Amino acid sequence: MYMLLFLYSIKASPAIPGASPPNRRGELRETSSNLLKESARALLPHNSSGGLRGDTVAALPTRLLLLCALWLGACNLATPTPTPLPSPTPALPQAQILFPTHNQQVIEGLVFDIDILARDSVQGIARIELHVDGELAQTIESEAGALNEFRVTMNWFAKGNGWHKFAAVAYRPDGVKSNPAIIALEVVPAP
């Protein structure tokens, strides 16, 4: 088929002297039909009167089968090798601040508890850090080694009126850290 298209493009190319591209649909059909006939005449042996020889007619199914096999063999029927999927990234440890709740008010000058829970099913949790306003406030390490579930209570002395940002971060023994669990608390003056 590609050869026929190639032959058609050569035959209809205006670069060849005396040739002009077909300008109507009928001419295109007639030209492609003539190309098929010319290709068949070139591929199959004919007798002197222009007809197919008797042995050619008998061998026609075999030749067609061979032609189809060659055509199919020329196609790229090979199944592409699938791209291997990347190995899944192990889940990060998880940290959660259980108490106090986000946007809670606390009274200035009081010490209050912050309850933090961290989980990791890959290696366990080795330590938890508490950051207040971007500064490390406290770290607690597991005394029993890495734990799949590690719950700690940390405390903070409420000072400085206004909003404060608290972030808890859990760490595996190999140093992989969780995304920070973040809450905001408002410190208000004592009544």
pLDDT digit string, tens, across residues 114-129: 999 999 998 999 999 9
Q: How would CATH label the architecture of 94-188?
A: Sandwich (2.60)
b vs e for 67-91, b when ≥16 Cβ sit within 10 Å of the residue's Cβ? eeeeeeeeeeeeeeeeeeeeeeeee
pLDDT digit string, tens, across residues 144-155: 889 999 999 999
Given this model, what pLDDT does residue 191 score? 85
pLDDT-derived band at 13, boundaries 50, 70, 90 = very low
Rounded Cα distance, 69 and 63, in Å? 10
Domain boundaries, the chain: 2-74, 94-188
Does the pLDDT at position 27 exceed 80? no
pLDDT digit string, tens, across residues 60-92: 667 777 766 666 666 655 666 677 777 666 789
Rounded Cα distance, 168 and 181, in Å? 5
Q: Which residue has the higher pLDDT, 136 or 22?
A: 136
0.75 cut: is pTM over it? Answer: no
53 half-sphere exposure, CB direction, 13 A CA radius: 9
pLDDT-derived band at 109, boundaries 50, 70, 90 = very high
